[in-house]
């Protein structure tokens, strides 16, 4: 595709290659140098076209990846390009409102910073909330649910039931269940806003769960706390197997091991965040969406 460059940010080289491959566009590496104080320096490895798709997810190291995305976008914009940033995992989206007195709305700040960096449009995946999305003047939120449900449809599942770990994710899990032709149930999760500790109500209709394979569907798995608590409730209520599916598998520290130790049979995520559980490729969908906003 003439005049279109896909810029591979340091966080997302594989996804960027997939997007460039799908579009037949030039793939340009954003070379990264990190100084001893942790400061990033970005250098584009080749000349860019008039339209740039900057691909950089913002999984940990979150702040570095975010700033690198801005640095790449600024350079492309300063060179006269129209910039679309593909940021599948958009960090800070959970800080979409002030929950406690004294807190700021960091999701809104991130939207303004990206705009100030020359980003004309953002393409993201399963953003945490509509509220977070509303802070962007021009953003597309792509759902990973159809691709994840396609993957689940190919698994040999016993009378599957789709489970949302909390009420907030019920619509997402409901869409997944509809595509899979399965039932859906939403658990009741609460989080202590000060300590971050998660509790999941153990009262569920066991008749609905017993002897069935449960698929937990969430937007993201970070510490694994939510999935672990939910899996424990499901297994206690007789679920045969429990699977965890999400768009963004951040899996901080020992999260994956802890989830497995809690009895979860497999973790399935998209390649929004690279890693061992990135089993569902979103590159074609993201490529098409990015092109639609650049035209």
Of the chain, the end-to-end C-alpha distance in Å amounts to 13
What sign for the dihedral angle of Cα 254, 17, 66, 131? negative
Please tell me the distance from the alpha carbon of residue 132 to that of residue 37, in angstroms, as a whole number.
31
* 9 vs 224 by CB, closer to ligand R5P: 224
* 94 vs 279 by CB, closer to ligand R5P: 94
Nearest-approach distance from CB 37 to ligand R5P, in angstroms? 29
The site map against ligand R5P for 188-207 (x = CB under 6 A) is: ----------x---------
Nearest-approach distance from CB 240 to ligand R5P, in angstroms? 23
* Segment interacting with ligand R5P (CB under 6 A) among 32-40, 137-145, 162-170, 233-241: 162-170
Residue of 66, 127, 169, 177 that binds ligand R5P (CB under 6 A): 169
Residue of 13, 14, 60, 168 that binds ligand R5P (CB under 6 A): 168
Residue of 165, 209, 231, 269 that binds ligand R5P (CB under 6 A): 165
Please tell me the distance from the alpha carbon of residue 162 to that of residue 166, in angstroms, as a whole number.
12
Number of residues that bind ligand R5P (CB under 6 A): 14
* 166 vs 213 by CB, closer to ligand R5P: 166
Q: What is the DSSP string of 121-174?
A: EEEEES-S-HHHHHT-SSEEEE--HHHHHHHHHTS--SS-EEEESSGGGHHHHH
Q: Do residues 255 and 224 touch, judged by C-beta distance below 8 A?
A: yes
* 25 vs 280 by CB, closer to ligand R5P: 280
Residues 212-241 that bind ligand R5P (CB under 6 A): 218-226
Q: Do residues 231 and 259 touch, judged by C-beta distance below 8 A?
A: yes
Catalytic residue among 51, 75, 189, 241: 189
Please tell me the distance from the alpha carbon of residue 100 to that of residue 201, in angstroms, as a whole number.
23
Residues 252-271 that bind ligand R5P (CB under 6 A): none
Nearest-approach distance from CB 58 to ligand R5P, in angstroms? 14
Q: Is 156 one of the annotated active-site residues of the chain?
A: no
Nearest-approach distance from CB 282 to ligand R5P, in angstroms? 18
| Beta strands in the chain, from DSSP E residues, in sequence order | 4-8, 26-34, 40-44, 51-55, 82-86, 121-125, 139-142, 161-164, 183-186, 189-191, 198-200, 214-221, 242-249, 264-270, 278-280
Cα 187-89-105 angle, rounded to 5 deg: 80
Residues 15-44 that bind ligand R5P (CB under 6 A): none
Please tell me the distance from the alpha carbon of residue 110 to that of residue 15, in angstroms, as a whole number.
22
Is 126 one of the binding residues for ligand R5P (CB under 6 A)? Answer: no
* 197 vs 202 by CB, closer to ligand R5P: 197
Nearest-approach distance from CB 259 to ligand R5P, in angstroms? 9
Which residues lie near ligand R5P (CB under 6 A)?
A: 165-166, 168-169, 198, 218-226
Catalytic residues: 189
């Amino acid at each position: 595709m003439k005049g279109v460059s896909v810029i591979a940010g340091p966080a997302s080289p594989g996804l960027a290659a997939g997007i460039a491959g799908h579009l037949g566009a030039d793939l340009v590496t954003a070379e990264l140098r990190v100084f001893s104080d942790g400061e990033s320096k970005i250098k584009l490895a080749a000349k860019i076209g008039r339209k740039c798709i900057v691909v950089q997810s913002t999984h940990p190291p979150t702040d570095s990846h975010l700033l690198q995305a801005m640095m790449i976008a600024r350079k492309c914009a300063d060179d006269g390009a129209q910039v679309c940033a593909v940021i599948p995992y958009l960090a800070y989206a959970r800080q979409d409102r002030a929950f406690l007195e004294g807190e700021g709305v960091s999701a809104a700040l991130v939207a303004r910073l990206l705009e100030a960096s020359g980003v004309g449009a953002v393409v993201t995946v399963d953003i945490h909330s509509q509220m977070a999305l509303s802070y962007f003047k021009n953003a597309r939120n792509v759902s990973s649910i159809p691709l994840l449900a396609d993957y689940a449809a190919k698994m040999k599942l016993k009378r599957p039931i789709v489970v949302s770990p909390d009420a907030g994710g019920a619509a997402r899990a409901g869409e997944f269940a509809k595509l899979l032709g399965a039932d859906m149930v939403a658990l009741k999760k609460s989080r202590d806003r000060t300590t971050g500790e998660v509790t999941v109500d153990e009262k569920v209709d066991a008749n609905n769960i017993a002897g069935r394979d449960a698929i937990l569907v969430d937007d993201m798995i970070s510490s694994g706390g939510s999935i672990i608590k939910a899996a424990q409730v499901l297994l206690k209520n007789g679920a045969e197997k429990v699977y965890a599916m999400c768009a963004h598998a951040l899996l901080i520290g020992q999260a994956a091991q802890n989830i497995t130790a809690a009895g979860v049979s497999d973790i399935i995520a998209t390649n929004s965040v690279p890693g061992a559980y990135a089993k569902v490729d979103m590159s074609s969908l993201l490529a098409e969406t990015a092109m639609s906003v650049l035209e």
